[in-house]
Amino acid sequence: MSHHHHHHHAPEGNTAHIRVAFFLNLAFTLVEIAGGLWTNSMAILSDALHDLGDSLSLGLAWYFQKLSTKKGDRKYSFGYQRFSLLGAIINGMILIIGSVFVLQEAIGRLWQPEATHAAGMMGLAVVGIVVNGAAVLRLKKGSSLNERVVSLHLLEDVLGWVAVLVGGAIMYVWEVPILDPLLSIGISLYVLWNVYGNLRQSFRILLQAVPTDKDMGHIRQKILELPEVAEVHDIHLWSMDGHNSIFTVHLRTRELMSMEEIGELKQTIRGLLEAEHIHHATIEVEHPGEQHLQMDC
């Protein structure tokens, strides 16, 4: 006997906040690229690359927030939520390639520093703080997880622009052109570190690893503590998209149970799983002596 409890959480709210943040970020990225070339600043060009990645992230978040509302069909029985991982991987690859290119240029400038337009750097930094800050405030009005995550990412951009502003101010007062490639290297390494973390998490999800915030041993023990349950096997737990977890389990009862009693047992187990923020479960119940066919998953 099996029971399928499907409760996919649809994205909350609408996409208006992400759409506004996307166009703000994309427009400023274009200004930033032009400004980086004008000021001859590798630090600004490094941040332009970062903001370009953010624009792609926002665009994909906007697209996938709409796409993920589609329910399962013949092609994708679990729905379209996992498509967001594809966007994360594409963004990560673009940022890695761009960051390596910027690092090569910046390291070359360490040995032959070039003068930068410090006043222009400070001006762009102020605009960057204002634009990214406005995008953060806009996204804070939203309620979806997508909006909250992107808001935190843009807040990191604000801090990056603060670093550029401080560096520009120092170079405006003192002639230390080597500070620009040093800032560029620091920003690029910071971007690569974050990309590594995002890609690592994305691949863990694609490979159906147990979510890092879930303890399968603890869940197994909670089910075994139920007086009706004698044995638990074939227990599996993975995530669709990093937020929605899927759980399957086979359990054997201590004695024969009626359909009504089995229904109550499943309801109790679903309550335990809800407490662990697991909303999609498949529960297979076997009676004592019933032959179990071991399936390799």
114 and 40 Cβ atoms separated by less than 8 Å: yes
Prediction pTM value: 0.66
Strands, E assignment, the chain: 2-5, 229-239, 245-253, 280-286
d(CA 188, CA 100): 8
Q: Tens of pLDDT along the chain (297 residues)? A: 444 444 444 444 456 667 777 887 788 788 878 887 887 777 677 777 777 777 777 787 677 667 766 777 788 777 677 776 776 777 677 778 777 877 887 787 777 766 677 788 788 888 888 887 887 777 666 555 455 556 656 666 777 778 778 888 887 888 777 777 787 788 778 878 877 887 888 888 888 899 988 999 999 999 999 999 999 988 999 988 777 889 999 999 998 988 999 999 999 999 999 999 898 899 999 988 776 554 444
Residues 233 and 161 in one domain: no
d(CA 211, CA 220): 15
Residues 223 and 159 in one domain: no
Alpha-carbon torsion 32, 36, 41, 45, what sign?
A: positive
Identify the domain boundary among 152, 178, 206.
206
Is residue 294 assigned to a domain? no
Residues 168 and 35 in one domain: yes
Phi, psi of 276 (to 5 degrees): -95, 10
Residues 77 and 192 in one domain: yes
Quote the tokens at residue 188: 């690029």
195 and 95 Cβ atoms separated by less than 8 Å: yes
Is residue 45 assigned to a domain? yes
Is residue 116 assigned to a domain? yes
Is residue 250 assigned to a domain? yes
131 and 31 Cβ atoms separated by less than 8 Å: no
Residues 97 and 222 in one domain: no
Structural domains counted in the chain: 2
| CATH number of the structural domain spanning residue 92 | 1.20.1510
Residues 85 and 46 in one domain: yes
Q: What is the pLDDT of residue 7?
A: 42
Is residue 2 assigned to a domain? no
Q: What is the pLDDT of residue 260?
A: 92
Q: Which domain holds residue 57?
A: 10-206
Quote the tokens at residue 105: 């240029």
Q: What is the pLDDT of residue 130?
A: 86
d(CA 12, CA 1): 34
d(CA 34, CA 53): 17
d(CA 78, CA 240): 8
Q: What is the pLDDT of residue 142?
A: 56
Specify the residue for token string 């690029």. Answer: 188
Q: What is the pLDDT of residue 53?
A: 73
Residues 247 and 197 in one domain: no
Partnered with residue 250 across adjacent β-strands are 233, 284
Partnered with residue 286 across adjacent β-strands are 252
64 and 87 Cβ atoms separated by less than 8 Å: yes
